[in-house]
């Protein structure tokens, strides 16, 4: 299997994550991608290709013009304003207030975000664009006949809405790739999000549509991020009714339970008659993940890959979460090797 990788991911290297009242060293750090890449190489998974440049047009099929413009200029505006640290949103439009974009950078940061966990600094824009190019290059390779491709995206994307960043995400790589499949004539695209967290951005982007089926397996949002979306009664709206599926699990969930939801998801994708599959892949479902609460083990990722391959679909994997850096390479590449038949 080919892997798409851009060294530009390392331009995303913030020093702060607001967590538990402290500015900690971010969980979402450059060594994550480098460790996965090293495992791709040591396992000789396949060719490693650099992304092509696709520009902003495919991004704007999913994200709003104003949001894209905000992200491009945010760091410059923050600095021009004389701020000392990294750009962190601290104000939001609460209930009863106006959802209206103000001029001030503090106001705009709140308007375009869902949390204060994701700081912005120099290089965030460049890395986020490179991450989209990684996903779109993978999509192009799959559309060109590759059975499956691993888009080693960083920063991740599945929390990003059409006009919101947060949860370490800026552009929704998986949604942009799914839309690219649609724009190239694929009629029905399935997105199966196996990251520990709800794929709220992807759900939101396609919530009113029946041409992209969105499914996410995740930790109960009553207990974990994103807190305000991802419940099982969210099934889609309008034309999209019945085309969103959330499968929610409690703390301590082992693979034996998690895989039952995977089975439900795979049957739904087969019924849907998908002609392409995008898999936002997080390995923060791992038992030793520092911020999550599922109990998957390294061999379980081989089984996951095997089951996804049985769908028989052209498949694009986009890398999402996973914060036990010691295990992230083995776990992510195990999915690819399981897909290719390794037991």
Pairing outcome for strands 212-219 and 189-193: parallel
Binding site for Zn ion (CB under 5 A): 195-197, 282, 284, 321
Residue nearest to ligand OKS (CB): 321
Closer Cβ to Zn ion, 136 or 281, answer by number: 281
Closest by CA to 202, choosing from 186, 190, 187, is: 190
CB of 80 to Mg ion, least distance (A): 37
DSSP, collapsed to helix, strand or coil, labels residue 117 as coil
CB 192 within 8 A of CB 145: no
The tokens for 238 are 């309008």
CB of 85 to Mg ion, least distance (A): 31
Instruction: Determine, following the binding rule CB under 5 A, whether residue 216 of this chain makes contact with Mg ion.
Output: yes
Closer Cβ to ligand OKS, 236 or 322, answer by number: 322
The residues that bridge with 193 in the sheet, in sequence order, are 216
Binding site for ligand OKS (CB under 6 A): 19, 117, 159, 167-168, 195, 197, 225, 282, 284, 291, 320-321
163 binds, options Zn ion, ligand OKS, Mg ion, none, Cβ within 5 to 8 A by partner type? none
167 binds, options ligand OKS, Zn ion, Mg ion, none, Cβ within 5 to 8 A by partner type? ligand OKS
Under DSSP, the state recorded for 194 is: -
Closer Cβ to Zn ion, 261 or 282, answer by number: 282
CB of 184 to ligand OKS, least distance (A): 27
- Cα(167)–Cα(211) distance, integer angstroms: 26
Closer Cβ to ligand OKS, 138 or 321, answer by number: 321
Catalytic residue among 9, 159, 197, 218: 159
User: DSSP labels for 260-299?
Assistant: HHHHHHHHHHHHHT-SEEEEEE--TTBTT-TT----B-HH
CB 151 within 8 A of CB 316: yes
The size of the interface with Mg ion (CB under 5 A), counted in residues, is 4
Known catalytic residue at 161: no
Rounded to the nearest 5 percent, the helix, strand and coil shares of the chain are 40, 15, 45
Closer Cβ to ligand OKS, 143 or 178, answer by number: 178
Among 195, 234, 284, 289, binds Mg ion (CB under 5 A): 195
List the catalytic residues.
159
């Amino acid at each position: 299997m080919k892997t798409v990788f851009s060294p530009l991911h390392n331009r995303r290297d913030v020093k702060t994550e607001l967590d538990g009242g402290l500015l900690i060293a971010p969980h979402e750090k450059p060594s994550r991608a480098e460790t996965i890449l090293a495992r791709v190489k040591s396992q000789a998974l396949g060719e490693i290709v650099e992304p092509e440049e696709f520009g902003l047009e495919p991004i704007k099929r999913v994200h709003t013009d104003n949001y894209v413009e905000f992200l491009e200029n945010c760091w410059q505006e923050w600095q021009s304003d004389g701020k000392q640290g990294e750009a962190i949103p601290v104000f939001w439009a609460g209930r009863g207030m106006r959802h209206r974009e103000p001029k001030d950078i503090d106001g705009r940061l709140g308007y375009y975000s869902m949390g204060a966990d994701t700081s912005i600094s120099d290089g965030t824009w460049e890395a986020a664009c490179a991450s989209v190019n990684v996903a779109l290059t993978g999509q192009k390779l799959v559309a060109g006949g590759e059975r499956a491709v691993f888009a080693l995206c960083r920063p991740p994307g599945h929390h990003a809405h059409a006009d919101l960043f947060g949860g370490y995400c800026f552009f929704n790589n998986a949604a942009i790739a799914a839309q690219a499949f649609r724009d190239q004539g694929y009629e029905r695209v399935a997105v199966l999000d196996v990251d520990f967290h709800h794929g709220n951005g992807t759900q939101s982007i396609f919530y009113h549509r029946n041409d992209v089926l969105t499914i996410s397996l995740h930790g109960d949002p009553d207990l974990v991020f994103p807190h305000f979306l991802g419940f099982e009664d969210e099934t889609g709206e309008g034309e999209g009714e019945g085309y969103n599926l959330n499968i929610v699990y409690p703390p301590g969930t082992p693979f034996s339970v998690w895989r039952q939801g995977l089975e439900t998801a795979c049957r739904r994708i087969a019924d849907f008659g998908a002609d392409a599959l995008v898999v936002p892949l997080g390995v923060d479902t791992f038992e030793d993940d520092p911020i999550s609460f599922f109990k998957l083990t390294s061999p379980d990722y081989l089984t996951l890959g095997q089951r996804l391959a049985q769908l028989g679909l052209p498949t694009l994997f986009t890398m999402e979460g996973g914060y036990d850096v010691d295990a992230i390479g083995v776990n992510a590449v195990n999915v690819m090797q399981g897909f290719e038949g390794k037991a």
